[in-house]
Amino acid sequence: MSTIIRNARIVTMNKEKQVINRGYVWMKNGFFIRVEEGEPDNEIRGKANEVVDAKGKWLMPGLINTHGHPAMTLMRGMSDDLPLNEWLEQDIWPFESKLDERATKVSRELAMVEMIKSGTTTFLDMYHLHLPDFAEAVLQSGMRATLMRSVIGLCSKEEQDAKLNESLAFACEWHKKGDGRIQTMLAPHALYTCPPDYVERIVEAARDAKLPVHMHLAETRKEITDVMDNEGIHPLELLEDRHLLEGTEWLFAHGVHMHEQHMELLQSRNAAISHNPKSNLKLGSGVAPVASMLKHGVIVGLGTDSAASNNTLDLFEEMRMAILLQRGINEQADMVETIEALQMATTSGAQALRFDHLGTIEQGKLADFILLDPRLPHLQPEENILSHLVFAAKASDVTDVFVQGTPLMKDNVLLTLDEEAIMYEANRVYRRLNDGK
């Protein structure tokens, strides 16, 4: 199948940050084989199965969500006023214990509906339930995802080993499946839920299997003081002291409570950060020093965390929140440039998740992209497109979504998921769980 989308305004996110004011993309077998200004000539049109008129819509890379828990989408709005540890212990973990297969399934489907509709093409799921079922569902949805069976190590060594074996078996079986749309990682939940020796065993397993590792890190001040009390050292330094940073592809979620010297360490170990500004604000965790991370060359992607702590899965909001927060707390208007916010949501997200050939609109890259309708009052005048995408665009402006050259949404209609049925089922299951039936 070979498709041309013509008459589009293209935000390439290539090295030159080129914007093509009127151009076309030609894709074949999931990759862009041509991205050019102007109109395709008759010879090229003749080679394509389909030529679509974008009618002047904006075409940009699909957004990449580098940290989340889609199975928690049913918990949206369930607990809005507690700090992380109380939120987990009082509300989230008790509700999670009631999540059966059906609830987990519909929660994740609801997340995928929301993500596709808001322009997200790739996401990360860190969770412990029914991973193989979800991997199948991701394949059917057409999305791209990094999946992992995350583990909590507050249990016996036998249970720890069983969890690790389960997560390793899942990761090895599914890595690069679905024409490469699925990648996997290993995932100790956090240093406050996994003893350091257990984290060490997980990292060793990841190195042997050549898999990256994902973990919540330095999310709250309480986490820092607890690890300091128990181990006498900051969580990141603990990993460095045990030689767990080197030779491992790390992606840390949050990194809120970090100092200047930690940035150098992250950069030198090629560790990436998933910045989750809204979740960090809502749980009162703080503001990650993202401007400093970027200054030191640390890879920073954006994440929503779950709908239970956000409460949306909208990366346009996340992008805007990220840049505005850095300017506000640093009292500096050019702290984090506009283009850097877009990079976090696209190219850096791809780097953070270790997806190759992803994140830009260029020949030879994976054809993951979205179209936005600019004929809306809040996007006028149309000229300053990069500014609009960061400071004015809304998730609802997204009209079309493609992953690996395949459409998942066309003119606001989802093609792979039954939006209405999923929303109905989500409400039914939520009521059932709450009624305890």
Number of residues that bind Zn ion (CB under 5 A): 1
Closer CB to Zn ion, residue 139 or residue 152?
A: 152
> What's phi and psi for 265, nearest 5 deg?
-65, -45
Residue 290 exposed, middle or buried by CB count within 10 Å (0-12, 13-18, 19+) = buried
At 37 the three-state DSSP class reads: strand
Q: Does residue number 96 form part of the binding site for Zn ion (CB under 5 A)?
A: no
Q: Does residue number 223 form part of the binding site for Zn ion (CB under 5 A)?
A: no
Least Å from the CB of residue 117 to Zn ion: 22
> What's phi and psi for 223, nearest 5 deg?
-60, -45
At 243 the three-state DSSP class reads: coil
From 89-97, 113-121, 297-305, 354-362, give the range in contact with Zn ion by CB under 5 A: 297-305
Least Å from the CB of residue 370 to Zn ion: 24
Cα-only R_g, the chain: 21
Closer CB to Zn ion, residue 305 or residue 362?
A: 305
Q: What kind and span of H or E run contains 340?
A: helix 338-345
Closer CB to Zn ion, residue 318 or residue 373?
A: 318
Are 9 and 53 in contact, with CB atoms under 8 Å apart? no
Least Å from the CB of residue 130 to Zn ion: 18
Least Å from the CB of residue 25 to Zn ion: 34
Q: What is the DSSP string of 74-87?
A: GGTTS--S--HHHI
Closer CB to Zn ion, residue 305 or residue 368?
A: 305
Cβ–Cβ contacts within 10 Å for residue 419, how many?
A: 16
In this chain, which of 305, 314, 318, 400 binds Zn ion, going by CB under 5 A? 305
Closer CB to Zn ion, residue 9 or residue 128?
A: 128
Closer CB to Zn ion, residue 305 or residue 318?
A: 305
| Torsion sign over Cα 323, 327, 332, 335 | negative
Closer CB to Zn ion, residue 187 or residue 341?
A: 187
From 181-189, 233-241, 288-296, 303-311, give the range in contact with Zn ion by CB under 5 A: 303-311
Helix, strand and coil in the chain, % to nearest 5: 40, 20, 35
Least Å from the CB of residue 72 to Zn ion: 9
C-alpha span between 56 and 383 (Å, rounded): 12
Q: Give the residues lining the site for Zn ion (CB under 5 A).
A: 305
